[in-house]
Structure 1
Amino acid sequence: MDNYNLLKKIEHCRNEMITLSTTHSYTSEAVIKSSKQLDSLLNTYQKAVKSA
């Protein structure tokens, strides 16, 4: 996956997590799952940028 598409996924996931956090508690399963997914995407992006 190229960096542009990865950044688009990160932005989408970030917005999803923000939306979830407005209707659920920060410790809800849905928010935590979204946060973990965002963390994974951010780690992938950081590795891609570092190795470029």
Structure 2
Amino acid sequence: MAKKNEFLEQIELKRNELIKIVAKDGLNSHVAVEYSQQLDQLLNKYNELFYKTGTGF
């Protein structure tokens, strides 16, 4: 359970960082895009580890 909580904390930190960067530099800034991609990776990994159902589309 600790690992799940650690992932959630990382996701929340990255989300908050992204919000600050977007407010400062804009949504289409290079840094905002990088942080958005990093957040996507964290979310995808979280879903893969904790919610993979194997049903497919």
Aligned position for 1:19: 20
Higher helix share: 1
| Greater radius of gyration (CA) | 2
Aligned structure 1 segments of 4 or more residues deviating by more than 4 angstroms: none
Provide the secondary structure at the position in 2 that maps to 1:26: coil
Q: CA separation in 2, counterparts of 1:15 and 1:25?
A: 14
Q: What is the letter of the counterpart of residue 9 of structure 2?
A: K
Instruction: Give the TM-score normalised by the residue count of structure 1.
Output: 0.90
Instruction: Give the TM-score normalised by the residue count of structure 2.
Output: 0.83
Aligned-pair Cα RMSD in Å: 1.7
Q: CA separation in 2, counterparts of 1:25 and 1:13?
A: 16
Deviation at 1:49, TM superposition (A): 1.2
| Farther-moved stretch of structure 1 (27-36 vs 1-10) | 1-10
2:36 paired with 1:35: yes
Gaps of 5+ in 2: 53-57
